[in-house]
Amino acid sequence: MTDEKTAILKGTLDMLILKVVALGPIHGYAISQRIQQISKDYFQLQEGSLYPALHRLENRGFLAADWQSTDTGREAKFYKLTRKGRKRLETEMEGWERMTEAVALILRTAE
Amino acid sequence: MSWLGRFFRKRNRESQLDSELRFHIEQKTAQLTGPGVESAEARRRAMAKFGGVEAVKENCREARGTYFIETLGRDVRYAFRTLSKSPGFTAVAVITLALGIGANAAIFQLIDAVRLRTLPVKDPGALAIVHLNKNHWGSGNFNGPYAEYTYPLWRQIRQRQEAFSPIAAWGADSLNLAVGGEVNYANAIWVSGAFFRTLGIRPLLGRLISDSDDRPGCAGGVDLSYAFWQKRYGGAADVIGKTLTLEDHPFPILGVAPPTFYGVSVGNRFDVAVPVCAEPTVFGVHSRINGPRARESWWLSVFGRLKPDWTLPRATAQLNTILPAALRETIPSQYDADMVKRYMAYSIETRPAANGFSSLRKDMSTPLWLLLGLSGLVLLIACGNLANLLLARAATREREFALRLALGTSRLRLLRQLLCESALLAIAGTICGGFLAAALSKSLVAFLSTPGNPIFLDMPTDWRVLGFAAGLAILTTVLFGLIPGLRAGRVPPASVLRSGGRGMTAGRERFRLQRILVASQVALSLVLLAGALLFARSLQNLMSRNLGFQQNGVLVANADFTRLHLPEAQSDSFVRDLLHRIRAIPGVAAAADSIRSPVSGDISNRWVVDKNGKHPNGASFLDYVSPGYFETMQMRLVQGRDFNAADTATSPKVVIVNEAFVKKFLKGTEDPIDEQIRLWSPPGKPEPDYTVVGVVANSVYDDMHAPFQPIMYFPSSELEPRYANEGAVFLVRSRLGAAALLNPVKETIAGVNPGIDAQFVVLRTQIRQSLIQDELMATLSGFFGGLAVLLAAIGLYGVISYTVAQRTNEIGVRMALGAQRSSVIRLILGEVSFLIAIGVAVGAGLTLAGSRAAGSLLFGLKADDPLTLAAAVVILAGIGLTASFMPARRASRLDPMAALRQE
């Protein structure tokens, strides 16, 4: 862990992936770029560690994948959200919001 | 996509994973390539950003559900390859395991067969043995190992009891199948009518004895066991209605029992079952049912099926309330007031009969549990050895593990591969151990069986036994097989790789573990070795014990005259004549007749009483012998004279006693000759006193383990004709060895009258057979002890070799600095001595604590015999030092330069 970059909070990588994939079919490389872009390179992400998470999500039925051509004509594995995955994303986001609210509340009021 | 479908698309998935990751890296490289950055540099950065590709792949595979099965086959193949690359290690590991497991499984199988197996009958849980607690042996005839009831007492109990329905009695016997010539005994059981019904056994053929067969005065009929039917009749179906001759009485064959039913006595198999009511037919006036001595003939055992709403305590209580009345009705007529009082004090106890009756269990359970303990120790030592082997092996594989971890193998995967290796070793060990166990337990049973007491144990391959063995094997190997894997994961791979040839983890920690293992092996081996020496010395003591007679060169002929129906008056002259002819056989040095032979299991005794008719000193053993008996047995006549032709039934009563008798009954008097001895006799049947005419040296009567006991010898001419015309035992001393006389004596006896039933045995063999249990303990504990020492020696050798290998560099430095070869050897042997000393100290403590269990099985020495322990220590230390000397010498021959260069 460096000073400027923070490791992705344990357990939240799955949620971030689901959120990014929810926008539409997307391949692994693009997912990693998107996460770094949106977070303004805040997270320190070993890019390879994305793939085991992708495969796990696929194996559990939250993601579906097929091979499609990219804009440049290369074959790439595109992931998209399944209905089960969408539900999972919703419950994870709810849980996350409840938790951040609770944490914020404690930080505000415990001064 | 189905799970199975995914599994079969493995190859496809592997290449997909490949292209997916490649795509990522190419994209990243393309992105990073730009002005001032060459594509090679961009690719390097992309790779760095990505992380270890192989590790990522491995993690992706693991994320898949089918990963476990996909790689299992690969891991097993890999394990096979690794093991076959080190055949020495594999062989030692498998053999070690097989020996440990095989020995344990064999002993366990025996214990299971003897102690734990339930009877092969219907609902054995509801069966109970009705056991008569006798606080003394009473007086009378006892037949068979389970002689608890007389027939009159059994009838009383059957009438009065309420707890059991049905209730049955049985008694074991040997009945002669042969018609003349050499006897051929069948294992017979006398059964009451309800016997088979109580057990719930159905016939295989014909019908089984039922209540209607058991009526007083019945003609009788027999049921055959399956094995006997197969052996004697070849399993012929038309056997029903044929005739079987028992003790010269023909009986029709009624039926055949099913193959699963071997009887109710574990360890013995019955051949024929005969209804109790047929007993008078066979034994005539000596019948234990309606003969004059029926009330003092103990020969039956009783068991029953508990009624549904009854419990054992309630049954015991009910039986004990009716027992006094039952006893009062059956008091033996010859008992005096004192004995009646004791007779009336008998009580009844009931206990579960699910495991059947077994004297084998009573006799063998202490040795068997002890042997299981010993074989358990062997297994522990074997495990220790295996652990050491695996640890030493791990040391050499440290770099391999580190390298593979660095290359991205997950720790889990590494552990699984080790698990596969362990499992393969365990499986191979179990299979070999299983074969070993089967062979071992068969030979154990063969070992325990004697012609006079054949033992039959039903020992089919038992899944419980195999499970027990396999469980042990897997636990052991997995436990120790995983240690290196767990260790490997704890140390950062880089540091192992950096440390070059020398293993990083070869530090103190594992060294300590290995030393502890070896010291424990030494400790346990000492226990086993000391045990082995104890039993060996005990057997040695027994075999070299002074018997008081010369056992070599004596043939025993047990002759039975029952079928001759000799007139009482002739029986004595008949025996004299037969003895005369035997003495005339060339090669016979001496011969005599008697009513028993030593250590044959036949015993008789009588109470010796004082002037007031009291018997403060109890009973003395006795024998009836002809003149020349002491000469034949080569027993020393200490004082007085032998019997002679003048001692007849009508001459004054004389007796020869042994020294132990003089000490116990004659206050050790210096001059016992002409002392008078009075024996207890039933009221109204007074006997004259006996005059001591001779004193002989002490000799063993029946039990090789017992000290010398008082014996009285009476002239066989005085024997009551009733006994004399039944038979005689001829003891024949040969000049040529006992076996050489077998045929001449057999022919002589048959020549006098072919109707004489005779059975022959060499006295020495008979005595040896009484030592079977001691021999078994000595042999097996010797086997285990040898095995333990061998394993400990291998362990020491292994650890010292390993130490030397680890310290090559240090030793090189020492030698380069001028250390002598001898001081290197001293250095290493010093370490070994330390390990052995600790092991021996702990082992000696364990031996002393554990040896008490063996105390009752030893003869002529105590379980904590210091000499035995000292011998064990010396032997073990000697072997241990020898085993370590080889690696020590190898170390001393190191070339210092080569050793240093190895750095």
Same domain, B610 and B649: yes
pLDDT of amino acid B389: 78
Of B56, B59, B63, which is closest to A59 when you measure between CB atoms?
Answer: B63
> What are B843-872's pLDDT values in tens digits?
999 888 887 777 778 888 888 888 999 999
Contact A32 B24 (CB under 8 A): yes
Contacts with A73 from chain B: Cβ below 8 Å: none
Number of domains in chain A: 1
Whether A46 sits inside 8 A of B50 (CB atoms) is: yes
Do B413 and B561 fall into the same domain? no
Q: Please give, rounded to a whole number of angstroms, the shortest distance from the CA of A65 to a CA of chain B.
A: 11
Are B565 and B674 part of one and the same domain? yes
Taking every pair of C-alpha atoms in chain A, what is the biggest distance, in angstroms?
Answer: 57
Helix (H) or strand (E) holding B83: helix B67-85
pLDDT tier at B498, thresholds 50, 70, 90: low
Q: Which backbone phi and psi does B480 adopt, to 5 degrees?
A: -90, -25
**Region label for B687, one of left (φ > 0), alpha (ψ between -120 and 50) or beta (otherwise):** beta
Work out the pLDDT band at B518, boundaries 50, 70, 90: confident
B5: pLDDT strictly greater than 60: no
Higher pLDDT, B51 or B304: B304
User: Which domain does A83 fall in, by range?
Assistant: 6-109
Please state the rounded mean pLDDT for residues B702-721: 87
Structural domain includes residue B385: yes
pLDDT-derived band at B464 (thresholds 50, 70, 90) equals low
Question: By CA distance, what is B48's nearest residue in A?
Answer: A46
Q: Are the beta carbons of B24 and A59 separated by less than 8 Å? A: no
Q: Which positions in chain B touch A49 (Cβ < 8 Å)?
A: 51, 56, 59
Q: Which residues contact B59 (CB under 8 A, 6 or more apart)?
A: A49, A51, A52, B410
Report the mean per-residue pLDDT for chain B: 82
Q: Are residues B565 and B622 in the same domain?
A: yes
Same domain, yes or no, for B404 and B292? no
Answer whether residue A1 is part of any domain: no
Question: Is there a contact between B24 and A29 if contact means CB atoms under 8 Å apart?
Answer: yes
Which residues of chain B are within 8 Å of residue A32 when distances are taken between CB atoms? Answer: 24
Distance in angstroms (rounded) separating the CA atoms of residues B858 and B97: 31
Do B893 and B744 fall within a single domain?
no
**List of chain A residues whose C-beta atoms are within 8 Å of the C-beta of residue B49:** 46-47
Q: Which of A29, A55, A75 sits opposite B63 (nearest CB)?
A: A55
Does residue B28 have a pLDDT over 90? no
* B60·A55 Cβ contact <8 A: yes
Choose from B17, B24, B47, B66 for mutation: most chain A CBs within 10 A: B24
Within-domain flag for B54: yes
Do B763 and B773 sit in the same domain of this protein?
A: no
* Shared domain check, B725 and B792: no
Q: Is the pLDDT of residue B18 over 80?
A: yes
Contact between residue B533 and residue B872 where contact means Cβ atoms under 8 Å apart: yes
| Tally of domains in chain B | 5
pLDDT for B296: 83
Interface predicted TM-score of the whole assembly (ipTM), two decimals: 0.86
Residue B34 contacts residue B46 (beta carbons within 8 Å): no
pLDDT of residue B133: 78
pLDDT tens readout for residues B276-315: 999 988 888 788 888 888 888 888 989 999 998 899 899 9
Q: What is the structure's pLDDT at B503?
A: 43
| Residues spanned by the domain of B35 | 3-85
Which strand (E) or helix (H) includes residue B867? helix B866-892
Residues in chain B: 903
Residue B723 in tokens: 């006994």
Q: Kind of pairing, strands B297-306 and B149-150?
A: antiparallel
Is B30 an 8 Å CB contact of chain A?
Answer: no
Cα B758 from Cα B756, distance rounded (Å)? 6
For residues B490 and B296, is the Cβ–Cβ distance under 8 A?
Answer: no
Q: Across the A/B interface, how many CB contacts are shorter than 8 Å?
A: 57
pLDDT digits (tens, 9 = 90+) for B348-366: 888 887 666 655 556 666 7
Please report whether residue B360 resides in a domain. no
Distance between first and last Cα of chain A: 29
pLDDT at B506: 47
**Which residues of B are less than 8 Å from A29 in CB distance?**
23-24, 27-28
pLDDT of B335: 79
Helix (H, G, I), strand (E, B) or coil at A98: helix
Task: Tell me: do B752 and B773 sit in the same domain.
Answer: no
What percent of chain B stands above pLDDT 90? 22
Q: Are residues B526 and B624 located together in one domain of the fold?
A: no
Q: Are residues B130 and B164 in the same domain?
A: yes
Residue B448 has pLDDT above 80, yes or no: no
Q: Does A34 reside within a domain?
A: yes
Please tell me the predicted confidence (pLDDT) of residue B1. Answer: 44
Both tokens of B273, joined, read 């079952």
Position B419 confidence tier, pLDDT thresholds 50, 70, 90? confident
SS3 for B9-44 is CHHHHHHHHHHHHHHHHHHHHHHHCECCECHHHHHH
Closest by CA to B594, choosing from B632, B636, B568, is: B632
- Give residue A3's pLDDT: 43
pLDDT at B656: 95
The one-letter code for the residue type at B610 is D
For A60, A79, B162, the CA distances from A93, given in Å and listed in that order, are 18, 20, 77
Domain annotation covers residue B333? yes
Burial grade of A2 (CB within 10 A; 0-12, 13-18, 19 or more): exposed
- Tell me how many degrees the CA angle B107-B108-B109 measures, rounded to the nearest 5: 90
Q: Do B172 and B315 reside in the same domain of the chain? A: yes
pLDDT of residue B502: 47
- Choose the most confident range, by mean pLDDT, from A89-103, B45-59, B773-787: A89-103
| Residue B359 covered by a domain | no
Neighbours of B28 (CB within 10 A): 21
Look at residue A66 and tell me if it is in a domain: yes
CATH of the domain at A39: 1.10.10.10
What confidence tier does B511 reach under pLDDT thresholds 50, 70, 90? low
